[in-house]
């Protein structure tokens, strides 16, 4: 494996991270040191109250709120937000929310060429990646561009205390998926592997604590720390079969993003297990489990996550086409993509069976 030969390339993104309970109180100082005197706060309609709180910590700089961020970043929403940003003559954006809100700020950074400060409130990790997406006429277009990275990220676990439990679980497992695939990526490296293992450990332990105490600030902090690490891995390593399958499932069947990741993860990791022993050892260690794929399956079950594609509304007859589309334009993967093996794996995920052991 490339990474074990200590022969690798590591690129870190330039951004500033301010982490901790109450970190949001430093927002006006962060905006001042970034030279941003006029900013637009963006959020989803559901998070208007959070955006108002964030606006209050921005002092006079936050001149307006745009509360129409939506899942999958519709082009029409980007256009409306651009118009508001222009008419308010802002120099930057503060994105307060999850991957959907940060996705909107990314498109504003790209189209309007204005920087943004991210205040993530889920565990999706988009703030740590140069990946953007926009949806027009039912088609999602994605790309990579360093200009969509935030100038500063403020992680404040106190803003995540009310993150609903199902969203906490699915976005936490989505984060673990980024780290897990980063462990066996073709361009992985020892630094990313440290981050990935630590990210999985922090997220799994944090979520286990949250299962009994959803408002525990330390556990929320552990999950946010895990999200940062797992998101960083996604931002720096190529993803493999897991992300490809989730992309195809989500795109062609309009499935919920994070839940699809949560269901698929044990199965895709089981599929690759024999071909990525080093990655499996790190996942086992992070989860304190005897088997990586079973450990992930049991974690999802323990947290009450949906465990089958059938539960997400997928029809059995759709599986064959999903595999065809996946194979037609594959991502690199440690295990060769054999149609019949992929069908077996997808059926297993559809039924919600435990993953096959390598
Ligand atoms: P989301 O941003 O869609 O948020 C889900 C719901 O939870 C929303 O209604 C939101 O208002 C609410 N919410 C968020 N934080 C809350 C909080 N603290 N308290 C109460 N409610 C809260 O969900 P997500 O899982 O964070 O993001 C999913 C999107 O992000 C997908 O579109 C996915 O493609 C994208 N994503 C992109 C990247 C990337 O690198 N570009 C990485 C991961 C995810």
Residues 240 and 310 in one domain: yes
Give the model confidence (pLDDT) of 313-329 as tens digits.
Answer: 999 999 999 999 999 99
Minimal-distance CA residue to ligand 1 atom 38: 126
Kindly report the CATH number assigned to the domain that includes residue 274.
1.20.1090.10
What pairs with residue 66 in β-bridges? 42
Residues 178 and 227 in one domain: yes
Give the model confidence (pLDDT) of 56-67 as tens digits.
Answer: 999 999 999 999
Position 172 in a domain = yes
Residue 1 has a pLDDT of: 46
Residue 4 has a pLDDT of: 54
Position 321 in a domain = yes
Give the model confidence (pLDDT) of 24-34 as tens digits.
Answer: 999 999 999 99
Kindly report the CATH number assigned to the domain that includes residue 34.
3.40.50.1970
How far apart are the CA of 272 and the centre of ligand 1, in A? 28
d(CA 110, CA 115): 9
DSSP type of residue 331: P
Tokens of 266: 């044990």
**pTM, rounded to two decimals:** 0.95
d(CA 295, CA 355): 10
How far apart are the CA of 7 and the centre of ligand 1, in A? 36
Position 331 in a domain = yes
Residues 139 and 184 in one domain: no
Q: How many CB atoms lie within 10 A of CB 5?
A: 7
Contact of 354 with 297, CB cutoff 8 Å: yes
Q: How many domains does the chain have?
A: 2
Collapsed DSSP state (helix, strand, coil) of residue 115? coil
Minimal-distance CA residue to ligand 1 atom 36: 99
Q: Beginning with the edge strand found earlier in the chain, give each strand of the sheet holding 39-42 in spatial order.
A: 16-19, 152-155, 116-120, 92-97, 39-42, 62-66
Position 10 in a domain = no
Q: From the CB of 124, is ligand 1 less than 6 Å away?
A: yes
Position 193 in a domain = yes
Minimal-distance CA residue to ligand 1 atom 40: 126
pLDDT bucket at 346, cuts 50 / 70 / 90: very high
Checking if the pLDDT of 2 tops 50, the result is: no
Q: From the CB of 100, is ligand 1 less than 6 Å away?
A: yes
Residue 6 has a pLDDT of: 82
Checking if the pLDDT of 12 tops 90, the result is: no
Sign of the four-CA dihedral 328, 333, 334, 339:
negative
Of the candidates 140, 286, 274, the residue with the CA atom closest to the CA atom of residue 204: 286
Checking if the pLDDT of 14 tops 90, the result is: no
**Mean pLDDT throughout 203-227?**
97
Residues 147 and 169 in one domain: no
Residue 254 has a pLDDT of: 86
Tokens of 98: 């999850």
Residue 357 has a pLDDT of: 62
Give the model confidence (pLDDT) of 239-274 as tens digits.
Answer: 999 999 999 998 889 898 889 999 999 999 999 999
Mean pLDDT of the chain: 95
Residues 264 and 168 in one domain: yes
Residue 137 has a pLDDT of: 83
Percent of the chain with pLDDT over 90: 90
DSSP track, 143-200: EE-GGGS-SEEEE-GGGGTTS-HHHHHHHHHHHHHHHHHHHT-TT--HHHHHHHHHHH
Torsion, Cα 318 240 117 34, to 10 degrees, reads -160
What pairs with residue 140 in β-bridges? 135
Residues 305 and 239 in one domain: yes
Range of the domain at 29: 16-160
Residues 142 and 285 in one domain: no
Contact of 67 with 47, CB cutoff 8 Å: yes
Of the candidates 38, 198, 23, the residue with the CA atom closest to the CA atom of residue 118: 23
d(CA 88, CA 341): 55
Q: From the CB of 99, is ligand 1 less than 6 Å away?
A: yes
Q: Which of 137, 160, 183 is the last residue of a domain?
A: 160
d(CA 192, CA 295): 21
Position 1 in a domain = no
d(CA 45, CA 139): 23
Checking if the pLDDT of 195 tops 60, the result is: yes
Residues 130 and 241 in one domain: no
Q: From the CB of 131, is ligand 1 less than 6 Å away?
A: yes
Percent of the chain with pLDDT over 70: 98
How far apart are the CA of 101 and the centre of ligand 1, in A? 7
């Amino acid at each position: 494996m490339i990474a074990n030969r200590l022969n690798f390339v590591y690129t870190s993104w330039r951004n500033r991270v301010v982490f901790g309970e109450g970190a949001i109180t430093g927002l006006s100082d962060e905006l001042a040191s970034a030279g941003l005197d006029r900013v637009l706060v963006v959020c989803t309609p559901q998070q208007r109250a959070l955006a108002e709180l964030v606006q209050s910590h921005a002092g006079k700089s936050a001149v307006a709120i745009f509360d129409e961020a939506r899942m999958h970043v519709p082009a029409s929403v980007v256009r409306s937000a651009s118009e508001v940003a222009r008419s308010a003559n802002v120099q930057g954006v503060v994105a307060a929310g999850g991957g959907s809100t940060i996705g909107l700020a990314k498109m504003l950074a790209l189209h309007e060429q204005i920087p943004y400060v991210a205040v993530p409130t889920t565990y999706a990790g988009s703030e740590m990646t140069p990946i953007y997406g926009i949806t027009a006429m039912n088609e999602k277009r994605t790309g990579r561009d360093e200009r969509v990275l935030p100038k500063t990220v403020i992680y404040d676990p106190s803003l995540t205390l009310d993150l609903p439990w199902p969203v906490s679980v699915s976005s936490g497992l989505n984060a673990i998926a980024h780290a897990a695939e980063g462990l066996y990526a073709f361009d992985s490296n020892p630094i990313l592997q440290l981050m990935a293992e630590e990210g999985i450990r922090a997220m799994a332990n944090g979520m286990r604590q949250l299962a009994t105490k959803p408002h525990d600030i330390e556990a929320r902090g552990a999950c946010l720390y895990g999200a940062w690490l797992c998101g960083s891995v996604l931002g720096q390593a190529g993803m493999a079969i897991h992300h490809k399958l989730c992309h195809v499932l989500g795109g062609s069947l309009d499935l919920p993003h994070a839940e699809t990741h949560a269901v698929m993860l044990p199965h895709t990791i089981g599929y690759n297990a024999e071909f990525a022993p080093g990655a499996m050892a790190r996942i086992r260690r992070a989860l304190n489990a005897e088997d990586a794929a079973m450990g992930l399956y049991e974690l999802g079950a323990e947290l009450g996550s949906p465990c089958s594609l059938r539960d997400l509304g997928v029809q059995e007859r759709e599986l064959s086409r999903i595999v065809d589309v996946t194979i037609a334009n594959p991502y690199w993967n440690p295990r060769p993509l054999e149609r019949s093996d992929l069908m077996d794996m997808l059926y297993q995920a559809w039924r919600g069976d435990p993953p096959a052991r390598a």
